[in-house]
Structure 1
Amino acid sequence: MRIGILTGGGDCPGLNAVIRAVVRTANGRYGDSIVGFRDGWRGLLEDRKVQIQNDDRIDRLLTKGGTMLGTARVNPDKLQAGIEQIKQTLDDNGVEVLIPIGGEGTLTAARWLSESGVDVVGVPKTIDNDIDCTDVTFGHDTALTIATDAIDRLHTTAESHQRVMLVEVMGRHAGWIAVNAGLASGAHLTLIPEQPFDVDEVCRLVKRRFQHGDSHFICVVAEGATPKAGSMTLREGGIDEFGHKIFTGVAQQLGDEIQRRIGKEVRTTVLGHVQRGGTPTPYDRILATRFGVQAAEAAHAGKYGVMVALHGTTIDLVPLAEATRQLKTVPTDRYREAAAFFG
Structure 2
Amino acid sequence: MSTLPEQLVKTEAHRSIFESAVRQLPLPVCAAFGSSDSPQPVSFSNTNRVLSTKDSDAVRQQFPKTVAASGNIVLTSAGTSTIRVQGKRVAVLFSGGPAAGGHNVVCGLKRVLGAGNTLFGVKAGPKGLLKGTLFEITDANVDFILNTGGFDFLGSDRTKIKSDEQFAQVRETCIKHRLDAIVVVGGDDSNTNAAVLAESLYSGVKSDGSGVQVIGVPKTIDGDLQLGDLLSISFGFDTATRIYSEMVGNILQDTSSSLKYWHFVKLMGRSASHVALEVTLQTKPAIAIISEEVSAKKMSLASIIDGIARVVVERSHRGMNYGVLLAPEGLIEFIPEMNAMIAELNDVLAHEAAAFAALADDA
TM-score (norm 2): 0.59
Structure 2 Cα separation of the partners of residues 122 and 33 of structure 1: 19
Cα separation, 2, equivalents of 1:137 and 1:20: 18
Q: 1:230 and 1:109 mapped to 2: Cα distance?
A: 31
- Residue 3 of structure 1 aligns with which residue? 90
SS of the residue corresponding to residue 150 of structure 2 reads: coil
Q: Which moved more, 1:217-226 or 1:195-204?
A: 195-204
Structure 2 match to 1:204 = 310
Alignment of 1:314-333 (within 5 A): none
Of 101, 123, 127, the match for 1:14 = 101
Given candidates 237, 248, 255, the residue that maps to 1:140 is 237
Structure 2, unaligned runs of 5 or more: 1-87, 203-211, 347-363
Q: Secondary structure at the match of 2:179?
A: coil
Q: What per-residue deviation string (whole Å, max 9, x for no partner) do you get for residues 181-216 of structure 1?
A: 011011122123323351111111221122233352
Instruction: Give me the whole-angstrom Cα distance separating, in 2, the residues matched to 1:120 and 1:27.
Output: 20
Partner residue of 1:101 out of 185, 205, 208: 185
1:254 is matched with: none
Moved more, 61-70 or 2-11: 61-70
Q: Which runs of 5+ in 1 are unaligned?
A: 240-343
Equivalent residues, number: 235
1:92 corresponds to which residue? 176
What letter is aligned with 2:255?
A
Higher mean displacement: 211-220 or 110-119: 211-220
Indicate the structure whose relative CO is greater, using CA pairs within 8 Å and at least 6 residues apart.
1
What does residue 331 of structure 1 align with?
none
The equivalent position to 2:255 in structure 1, one of 122, 142, 158, is: 158
Identity %: 27
Q: What's the secondary structure of 1:66's corresponding residue?
A: coil
Does 1:167 pair with 2:265?
yes
CA contact (8 A) 2:161 2:167 kept: no
Which residue does the alignment assign to 2:320? Answer: 214
Q: What is the CA distance between 1:228 and its match in structure 2?
A: 4.0
**Aligned partner letter, 1:107:** N
Q: 1:206 to 1:18 in 2, by over 3 A?
A: same
User: Match of 2:223?
Assistant: 129
| CA radius of gyration, larger in | 2
1: CA distance between counterparts of 2:263 and 2:144? 39
So what's the TM-score if we normalise by structure 1? 0.63
Give the conservation status (yes or no) of the 8 Å contact 1:17–1:63: yes
Distance 1:92 1:148 in 2: 46
- What is the rounded CA distance, in whole Å, between the counterparts of 1:192 and 1:224 in structure 2? 10
What residue number does 2:125 align with? 40
Aligned mates of 1:235, 1:155 — CA distance in 2: 34
Report 1:170-185 matches (<5 A).
170-185=268-283
Query: Residue 25 of structure 1: CA displacement?
Result: 1.3
Mean Cα displacement is larger for which, 18-27 or 221-230? Answer: 221-230
The letter for the 2-side match of 1:11 is P
CA RMSD of aligned residues (A): 2.7
Question: Match of 1:311?
Answer: none
The match for 2:71 is none
Q: Which runs of 4+ in 1 moved over 2 A?
A: 75-78, 212-216, 226-231, 233-236
Q: Which moved more, 1:166-175 or 1:110-119?
A: 110-119
Aligned pair in 2 of structure 1 residues 170, 4: CA closer, same or farther (>3 Å)?
same
The Cα shift of 1:230 comes to 6.6
Indicate the residue corresponding to 1:50 in structure 2: 135
Q: What amino acid maps onto 1:170 in structure 2?
A: M
**2:215 counterpart letter in structure 1:** V
